[in-house]
Structure formats: C-alpha cells, structure tokens
Structure 1
C-alpha cells in the first residue's frame, strides 16, 4: 500500500487543479500576448521586441516571487498560496486586455500575471510532500491483536486493567508514546512506501503538467478564432478569450480552496502567522517555531548542502528548467537559422519576426521536432516516476536522464542539418530530440521525487540509524556530541522484576528521551514551501543563464553553442549524482561493517 497521507479529493485537486493548470495559463499567455499587442492595442511595429521585453520582465519577477511565495507558504499554508496564485492569474488575464499601451499598462498586467503564475508553479513542488509521508501513529493498546475496537477476542491475555495492581505491562501501557518502540520492519516498510508514493506522484505531476500544455494548445488558444467565426471583431474575440480563460482560473482557485482543506502538516498555519512569531502544532505532535523570513530562506539554502537529496534535487531542477528553454526556444531558432543560411527561406526585413509565414518549412519542421520531444517527455513521465520509486538507491533514473541529455544535446549540436529530407540530414534527428525529451522529463520528475524524499528526511545512508551507530565510534561508548543510540524502555522479565531500576528511573528516562528527541533528525515539512521556492529560484537562474549566455554564444560561436551548454549542464548533473551515489555506497558499507541493519 502506498504511503499517501492525503485524501483522494486532495490528491485529485492537486493533480487536476494545481499541476494541470500550473503551466496551461502560461502557455496561453505566451502564445497570445502578441495578439493583444496587435489586435487590442493596435501596434504593428516592434511587436517581437515588445514580446521579448515582457517575457524578460516576467522572468525577473519570477526570480524574486518564487522564493517569496515559498517563504510565505510556510507561514500561511500552501493551500492559501495556491488559491491566491490562481485568483491573481484570473484577475490579471482580465486586466491585460484592458491595456491601451504596451508601456506601462500591458507591462504592469504581465507583471501581475507573473506573480500569480509563480505562486501556482511553486506550489506544485511545495504541495507534493504534503501528499505523501509517514503518518505518525500513536501506539494504542485498544488496537492490539487481542483488543481491537469493535471486536471481541477469546484469546487469553494478562489483565492490565486492575486499578489496584501496578504491573509492568500496565506501566508500559500508560507510558507516553515516545517510550514505545516501533518495529524496525514496520518503520522501514512505511518509509519505503513513502519513497515509492512520492516518486509515483512526481511522475503523475510531470504527466499532468504536460497535459496542461495540451489543454492550452487544444482548448484555450483556439478560443479567439471560434469567437471570431461567431461574428465578433478580432479585438473583441481576443478579449472574450482572455475573459473565459480568466474565469477558468478563478474556478481553479475555488476548487483549490475547497479541495485542499486540512492538508497534512499544515495545521496551525494561516494568515494569523503572517507577522506573528509564535509556535504552531503539527501532525507530528510537537510544536514548530515560526521562523523569520530570512531564516526560512537561509535554512532552505543550507539544506541544499546538508541533504544530498535536496541538493541533488536543486541541481536537477536547474538543469530541467534550462532544458525546457533549449527545446522550446533554441531548437526552432536553430532550425530557422539553418533554412535562412541555406537560402531556402527569405524573411521580409520590415517584419523579421514573421518567420511563420515567411518560412513555413522551417516553422513546420521546428514544430515537429519540439512536438516529438514533448510527446516523448509526456509518455515517459509516469515511467520515470515508477523507476524513481523502484530504484531510489544511487539515483539510477536521474543518472539515466543526465546521460540521455549528454548524448542528445551533443548529437544535436553536431548536426549538419536538422532537416531529415536534406542530403546532409538524417532521420536520426527524431531519435535525438526524443533523447532531449527524456532528459528533460527525467530531470523534472526525479528532482521533484528527490525533494519530496529530502523533505521527509529519507536520506538513506544519512538517516538516524546510521548517526546512532557512529555515535559509539566503534568502541561501544558514546562520543562527545553524538546522538545516543535509541533503545526501547527496558521490559521487566516478569511480575517479580522491579518496575523501575536505578539506571532507568522514569525521570531520568524522560530527560534522556527529551534530549534524544532534539537530536533525532526530524522531517523538513515545515520548510517545504521555502525549499520549493529555492528550487524554483534556481530553475529561473537556469532559464536566464541559458537564454542570455546561450543566445550570445548562438550569435558568436554558432547554432550548436546552446546545446553544448546543455550537454555540459547534464554532465555536471551526472558527475554530482555519481559522487552522491559513491558516498551513499560507502556509507552503506560502513553501516554493514558496524552491524546496522
């Protein structure tokens, strides 16, 4: 059984609401913003420059807004941020078509949209750990094999219900749950289920976000044409399309408001924590302090160095976001450049951005190549989710994705022609772009799964058991500052055995357990929003770096330069992942040598 802590309604809302529409509204706006400039504002010149400026401003806002939304969600909750995000998207889409000029009105509307889009995109990552996890279950004698609620047992069992007799069994039954030991087998199985469910859900998230792009292409983008065919003017058709899509965004916000109620590990969060510095209770039955915003951000950054899963997830997100730009931007650009260089297409100097009509061959080939890449990515998303849960050790699926990226991007950079019908071209170009799609979706799904596992503190070789073993330094005596090994409360051999011994009296054990609880590593669910914000921030850096540096190298060094950059990014990911796997193997060997099972 998978370790989902969320209900079916919450999971359905997350997949069909947050994940599905997180990218669809962005695809719609990016594809239709030029129509707002030409049809609504009436500007015919410098349309490409205006679109580029708006997009660049969007990315700048995203760099600041992504971590800000993540930090805010750790105070008010991921549900509130998701609702705000989609509500802002709906409002901004209605505001955009009211603009009468590009600067400043349309620019301000685009920035407002960016605020909402970054909130929804960041919550895709932040909500994932709340869907899965190890449920904290208190041990209850009423659930024992001989005494289950609503059931009658005829098996003989020692009585511990006498108020006049204090037996060891009765003492253990009334002790706090922190003294009750958990079966290592059961605990390990629950932890494994958490890893598997997180990975599987990450695969579904990748698939649903890909389907969100299809929703934009098949449902949202044809709306202006349909309204125009119904008799409306071009300007009115564009406005009505934006109103309809904006209304859908508002409906998604309403769905998130009701569907994401009572998420696990979100207890006590709300707008009352926006400024107040107080503790709140979580489902883990202990208080969490409300950290200041700078400390939240610093903690999320530090976890990238302290937790190998979170750090590798950050790097994977950086490569994944850069890969999305390489596929959607530089494949069409390289294709168009090839057709222009060979003289097969000629662009009107007065309208250089009209490549779609001036060079239809290049446009069709670019659409075909990117379409094949994205289709393969969509189909492979659940597969990578399954593989990431099936083989979490040594991060094999992520290494496969990085290897595919190295091969695919290096091969595309060395192509003489992207046109398979050209004498210098080959049908192998479709295999190459398929490798690019595999690399992109593999990095996305595996990085999300790694973040989920890191937030739940499923670190494998760095878990609490390993730390407890090292606490003895192999001598059998605890070392200074190390975590004392956990052990259950001693059980008296029989009714005649002393209830409390000098070495294990109740008060001393309470102090020891309290000290132990402070040292045993806890999950990082209280930082999941901050971690998601940092993840999105690094992804934004990846987009800007490849867009600016890759674009400059494209002009100076040739069309293959951005793809060489992406091959280098994937090589770095492969090297870091290999280093992490080697470290994990060494730590696993040490655990065996120290007798830790």
Structure 2
C-alpha cells in the first residue's frame, strides 16, 4: 500500500521520510541558488568596487555564463539520473554548489568571479535538473498538483529565508566591527557550510536506486532520442517553452530586483548593504503572499485541464510583468502590490509547467524529458539575463521585466492555440501510473 503525507498520495516505493527530505531540499536548494543572484549587487559594489553603470551588464554576463554551463550539462544530468539514480546526482550538485558559494566572495577580480561562478554553475545545473525530476517522481498522478504546489511554496519560503539571511548578515557582521569585505565573506561561508551539511542529509534521506531494474535501463541513445522526439507532443512542446519562461521569471526577479534596489539606494544616499537590507522586506512579503496563490492554483490544477492552467498562468504573467512599467523603485513600499503580483505570477508559471510536463512525460524516460525541459529553462535564463542586463543599463531597471511581459504574451497565444487544437485529457481519464521512482 502506498504511503500518504497529509493529503498527498505518494508513488510506490516512496516513504514519508523520502518526501520530507525532498521538501527540505526544495527549501534549501532554491534558496541558495536564488541567494547567489540576490547577493550579487553587494559583491560588485562592496567587494570589487564595480561602478553601478556597469553592474547590470556584469550581472547579466555572470548569469549568462552560468546558463551556458547549464545548457551543456542539465540534460546530461537528467539522463545520468535515469542511469545511476536521482540521489547521487543531487548530492554531487549540492556539494559543488557549496564549494562555489564558499569561493565566490574571495574573488579579487571580475575574471576570478566568472571562474567561481562557473564552479557554482556545475552544481546548480545538477540541482535544477534533479529537483524538477523528483517532484514528478514522488506523487501519484491525482496528487501531482498538490505536491508541486507544496514544492513551489517551499521554494518561495526558501527564497524569502535566504534573502533575509543574506540581506541581514553582512550588516550584523559590519556592526560587530568587521569591514564590508570580511562581512560578505563570512556571510557566504555560513551559507556554504549549511549547503554542505544539506548534501549529507540528502545522501541519507532521498530514495536511492534508479527508476527501472538494471536490465531495463534505457540506453543513452534511447534517452537522447526520446528527449528530442517528445517535443512532437504539442503539450510537451508548450511545457518546454513555458519552462524557458518560468526559469527566466525567477532569474529576472532574483537578479534585477536587488540590483534595482542598490541603484535606487544610491540616489537615496544608502550604501549597498543598507539598500539590500531595505529590499529584504519586499522579497519576504512577496514570496510569503505568493504562497497563498500557490495553494489555490495547485488545487485548481488538479481539477481542470492542465493546458487551461497554462493559459491562466501566461495571462497572469502578461499582466504582472507589464505592470512593472508603472514602478519607480522597489524601495518605495507603495509599489509592493506590483511585486506581489510578479511573484505570484512566477510561482504560478512554475506550477503550471511542472504539472503539465509531469503528466505528459513517459515514465521510463521522465528524467530525460524533464532534463530537456531544464535545458530550455537554461536557455530562458541565458536570454533573460544577457538581454535583461543590457536593457537594465540602457533602458533602466524596468527593461528586464518588460522583456518578460512580452514573452508571457507570446506564450499566452501559444497556450490558447494548444488548448483549442490539442487539449489532452484530464488525468482522471488516464490510466493510473505504476512506477518505482527514485
């Protein structure tokens, strides 16, 4: 008999301890990955003394480098997780991320910063791939929307927690008598140690093994072919496009809200540390309130056609990111409703995308299909950060957000087309899956 965790029915072979460990991973890993972007403005300003006029481009190029690495590796990590299991890839990614995070504040030049970001990126690619796979491994189909919603809620809580941690700790160390550079180093070392310990927790708590018995493992050639062929399914193709956008949403929010705060803080006479501390309230409130929408939307998704859910998510995103045209600064708290809206939109896009691709991906090659999806996500971040960074410096801080609004509008039209021509089925009409996930 399959186990349950509250209202969530777990897939065959998944224990409550496995699920709880994964939920901890959702909180920690996404918080750390988002935290790298959040602390970027502090690193450039206080530790490397980069002029603010060039910070948008450098931040975009750093993220661009990370996503080039992700594009090369993320689908490979997906295939690898089908071959050797989810757990070893997850542990590897966590440990490499901790090393990258520890090295990052010791960069003495922009070149070194790129090298350390590349190390971080290898681990981030592994984590991004496996997190997206496990969220579809662990639930039974009728609980997929609920588990993905909880996954997204914990992501939001992780982002809020690490924004608070990374926003407050440098000031705490500075007030204790340390200079800004040492304060930044101690802050990031603390997070690196926490990440390393988390990797050991994953080694103990995540389910081991592979999705199939050893003799039934798909070949690498078969996995690669399936990943490409799956795009012929219009719903999977839509999910690939939406994954591109979902990752771009999160990346733009993580990089450019804090960078916008540092830029605005200069005009107000605030140091980078003070501006980051002030914008923490915006990050925390928006992520906490977006949780409400995550629960509501996750419940809705389990009751409606999942392409319809995608239409809803794309429409909300077009409205939310388009409204950023009217925002002057994230440090002006009267603009808080706009930031709440984009945070809710981002979490809704993630939920809709994960639910659709989890429903449509073949069980035996799920890791590969989701790995290809993660590849598209990496392309989305690459484009959003590269062009977003340039738009930030040329058009002003609103530029990256308006780019995302235009992309949402394009995918809204695509989602409507798929809903009309190839809507698929509600999961209740499909056979119940039986699988041995890892």
TM-score normalised to structure 2 length: 0.79
Q: Does 1:21 align with 2:36?
A: no
Alignment equivalent of 2:79, drawn from 53, 71, 75: 71
Cα displacement string for residues 12-60 of structure 1 (whole angstroms, at most 9, x for unaligned residues): 111112x112222223333445655676xx6435573655543332232
Q: Of residues 345, 351, 357 in structure 2, which corresponds to 1:445?
A: 351
1:390 to 294, 298, 303: 303
1:587, 1:419 → 2: CA distance? 44
1:246-289 CA distances to partner (integer Å, 9 max, x unpaired)?
A: 221111111111111336x5355xxxxxxxxxxx24xxxxx233
How far 1:450 moved relative to its partner? 1.2
Per-residue displacement from partner, 1:154-200 (whole Å, max 9, x unpaired)?
A: xxxxxxxxxxxxxxxxxxxxxxxxxxxxxxxxxxxxxxxx1x31111
Tell me the secondary structure at the aligned position of residue 243 of structure 1: helix
Residue 44, structure 1, aligned to residue 49, structure 2: yes
Give the CA deviation at 1:454.
Answer: 1.5
The answer on 1:296 being equivalent to 2:223 is yes
Give CA-to-partner distance per residue, 1:528-558, whole Å, 9 cap, x none: 2222222222122222333444555677778
For residues 286-435 of structure 1, the aligned pairs below 5 Å read 287-292=216-221, 295-306=222-233, 308-328=234-254, 355-359=264-268, 373-391=286-304, 393=305, 395-413=307-325, 415=326, 418=328, 431-435=337-341
Q: Secondary structure at the match of 2:10?
A: coil
Rounded to whole Å, the distance in 1 between the matches of 2:345 and 2:421 is 24
What secondary structure, in the 3-state scheme, does the structure 1 residue paired with 2:217 have? strand
Work out whether residues 33 and 51 of structure 1, in 8 Å CA contact, stay in contact via their aligned partners in 2. yes
Alignment match, 2:436: none
Aligned to 1:88: 96
Structure 1 or 2: more helix by fraction: 2
Distance, in Å, in 1 between the alignment partners of 2:43 and 2:252 is 26
Q: Please state how far the C-alpha of 1:104 moved relative to its aligned partner.
A: 4.3
Question: Which stretches in structure 2 are left out of the alignment for 5+ residues?
Answer: 430-438
| 1: CA distance, partners of 2:417 / 2:157 | 34
Over 3 Å counting, the alpha-carbon distance change for 1:227 and 1:568 in structure 2 is: closer
What is the alpha-carbon distance in structure 2 between the residues aligned to residue 224 and residue 201 of structure 1?
A: 35
**What do residues 492-542 of structure 1 show as CA deviations (whole Å, max 9, x unaligned)?**
xxxxxxxxxxxxxxxxxxxxxxxxxxxxxxxx2332222222222212222
- The secondary structure found in structure 2 opposite 1:526 is coil
The answer to whether the 8 Å contact 2:61/2:386 transfers is no
Instruction: Flag the structure with more relative contact order, 1 or 2, with Cα contacts below 8 A and sequence separation at least 6.
Output: 2
Aligned-pair distance for 1:86? 0.6
CA–CA separation in structure 2 for the residues paired with 1:222 and 1:368: 11
Q: Distance in 1 between matches of 2:147 and 2:230?
A: 23
* Gap change, CA 1:106 and 1:576, over 3 Å in 2: closer
Q: Deviations over 1:310-358 (max 9, x none)?
A: 323222212222323454556678x78xxxxxxxxxxxxxxxx754233
Between the aligned partners of 1:544 and 1:409, the Cα distance in structure 2 is 18
* Residue 79 of structure 1, CA deviation: 0.8
Task: Identify the range of structure 1 (117-126 vs 323-332) with the bigger mean alpha-carbon deviation.
Answer: 323-332
Tell me what 1:182 maps to: none
Report the TM-score when normalising by structure 1. 0.60
Q: Which has the larger radius of gyration?
A: 1
Deviation at 1:565, TM superposition (A): 3.9
Aligned CA-pair RMSD: 3.7
Cα distance, 1:76–1:568 mapped onto 2, change above 3 Å: same
Contact 2:170/2:187, CA 8 A, preserved across alignment = yes
Residue of structure 2 aligned with 1:254, choices 180, 200, 203: 200
- The structural deviation recorded for 1:205 is 0.8
Q: 1:355 to 1:563 in 2, by over 3 A?
A: closer
User: Which residues of 2 match residues 131-530 of structure 1 at below 5 A?
Assistant: 131-133=138-140, 194=141, 196-230=142-176, 232=178, 234-262=180-208, 266-268=211-213, 280-281=214-215, 287-292=216-221, 295-306=222-233, 308-328=234-254, 355-359=264-268, 373-391=286-304, 393=305, 395-413=307-325, 415=326, 418=328, 431-455=337-361, 524-530=362-368
Structure 1 contact 206–382 (Cα < 8 Å) conserved: no
1:535 matched to 2:373? The reply is yes
- 1:58 equivalent in structure 2: 66
Equivalent of 1:4 in 5, 10, 18: 10
Distance 2:40 2:122 in 1: 17
Q: Distance in 2 between matches of 1:575 and 1:534?
A: 23
CA contact (8 A) 2:286 2:343 kept: yes
Instruction: Go from structure 1 to structure 2 and tell me whether the alpha carbon gap of 1:584 and 1:88 turns closer, same or farther (over 3 Å shift).
Output: same
Distance in structure 2 (CA, Å) of the matches to 1:233 and 1:369: 26
- Partner Cα separation in structure 1 for residue 90 and residue 370 of structure 2: 13
Q: Match of 1:197, SS?
A: helix
Quote the offset at 1:206 in angstroms.
0.6
Partner Cα separation in structure 2 for residue 570 and residue 403 of structure 1: 7
User: Given the alignment, which residue of 137, 147, 164 partners 1:130?
Assistant: 137
Q: 1:203 to 1:372 in 2, by over 3 A?
A: same
Deviations 1:224-259 (A, max 9, x none): 443444455554443333332222111111111111
